[in-house]
């Protein structure tokens, strides 16, 4: 699988996350997909943080929310993908 393939279906992943856990969706919906290597998907929130103002969305990016996102990736792509953030 490539980063381009993941990007092409990322909205499906986010839709599934939103149905499962709206807070998890809020934590990750504005992430930028940076790289994919060895089944590790790196997400960046640099652009999102510029627009967040006084809100600290990083505070809601909990382990449990990351697991919801990883499970959605399994369901959409059929393989385990580890989510990394920067």
CATH number reported for the structural domain that contains residue 19 in this entry: 3.30.300
pLDDT tens digit sequence for 25-39: 988 998 999 999 999
The pLDDT assigned to 86 comes to 78
Q: Which residue has the higher pLDDT, 68 or 60?
A: 68
83 φ, ψ to 5°? -95, 125
d(CA 43, CA 45): 7
- CA torsion angle for 12, 16, 21, 23 (degrees, to 10)? 0
Residue 53 lies in domain:
3-85
Total number of domains in the chain: 1
> What was the pLDDT predicted at 72?
98
Residue pointed to by tokens 């994919």: 36
- For residue 31, give the DSSP letter: P
Give the pTM.
0.84
Q: Which residues lie closer than 8 Å to 44 by C-beta, 6 or more apart?
A: 31, 32, 34, 85, 86
Using a pLDDT cut of 90, give the percent of the chain over it.
70
Asked whether residue 50 carries a pLDDT value surpassing 50, the answer given is no
């Amino acid at each position: 699988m490539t980063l381009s393939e993941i990007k092409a279906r990322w909205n499906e992943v986010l839709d599934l996350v939103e149905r499962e856990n709206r807070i998890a969706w809020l934590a990750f919906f504005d992430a930028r997909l940076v790289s994919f290597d060895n089944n590790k998907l790196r997400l960046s929130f640099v652009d999102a943080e510029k627009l967040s103002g006084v809100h600290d969305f990083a505070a809601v990016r909990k382990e449990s929310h990351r697991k919801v996102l990883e499970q959605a990736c399994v369901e959409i792509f059929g393989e385990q993908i580890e989510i990394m953030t920067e």
